[in-house]
Amino acid sequence: MNVTLRELVQEDAAALLNLQHRLDRETSYMLLSPGERQSSILQVEDMIRGLGQAENSLILGAEADGELVGYLSAEGGSFSRNRHSAYIVTGILKRYQGMGIGGALFREMDQWARQCGMVRLELTVMRHNEAAVSLYTKQGFAIEGTKPKSLLVDGEWVDEYYMGKIYS
């Protein structure tokens, strides 16, 4: 299987929205529940355009078998006090997990972060999502704290880890 990583552009909006809807349906690890995502293609185009125009933001896609199967976004702060920092969101379809795509997306993002002078990357992850915690730890992220009862998923309280990576 050949996987291609690339920065997403506005023309990818429909494919990204479709991927996000699929992720919402197939996993409870994403923030939104199935049917809760109300974004339009135009809104996703605007989001992609905004991330692409910001010097401290990035959105990458992973393509395999002719479709978008994963993505990673890094949204940089918009104020002078937090411009050095970006918040990460990522998702990969279950069928493509465990194949190195997540690591490849994070390595690509890491290269970008170093090139544009980022100082801090951060993300949140459900505490019981051991595969994701392992991936993030391998990519240099450290657990900085726990957010108890951060989310209510399928009627159960879920704690999240707050994870960060600092570039010196």
**Domain assignment of residue 127, yes or no:** no
Kindly report the pTM of this predicted structure.
Answer: 0.95
**Domain assignment of residue 13, yes or no:** yes
List Cβ neighbours of 156 (8 Å cut-off, separation of 6 or more): none
Which pLDDT belongs to residue 168? Answer: 81
**Domain assignment of residue 57, yes or no:** yes
Which pLDDT belongs to residue 31? Answer: 94
CATH number of the domain encompassing residue 93? 3.40.630.30
The tens digit of pLDDT for each residue in 12-39 reads: 999 999 999 999 999 999 999 999 999 9
DSSP state of 94: G
**Domain assignment of residue 73, yes or no:** yes
User: Which whole number is the average pLDDT over 51-55?
Assistant: 95
Tokens found for residue 158: 């879920």
Sign of CA dihedral 78, 122, 104, 38: negative
Strand duo 67-76 + 58-64: pairing: antiparallel
Q: How many separate domains does the chain show? A: 1
Task: Identify the domain containing residue 63 by its residue range.
Answer: 3-122
Residue 46 has pLDDT above 90, yes or no: yes
The beta strands (E) that lie in 65-141 are given as: 67-76, 85-92, 120-126
**Domain assignment of residue 49, yes or no:** yes
* Amino acid letter, 107: R
Q: Tokens 């595969």 appear where?
A: 131
* Alpha-carbon distance values, 26 to 23, 33, 159 (Å): 5, 10, 20
For the chain, the average pLDDT equals: 96
The beta strands (E) that lie in the chain are given as: 3-7, 58-64, 67-76, 85-92, 120-126, 142-153, 156-166
* Amino acid letter, 42: L
pLDDT classification of 52: cutoffs 50, 70, 90: very high
Residue 90 has pLDDT above 90, yes or no: yes
Residue 1 has pLDDT above 90, yes or no: no
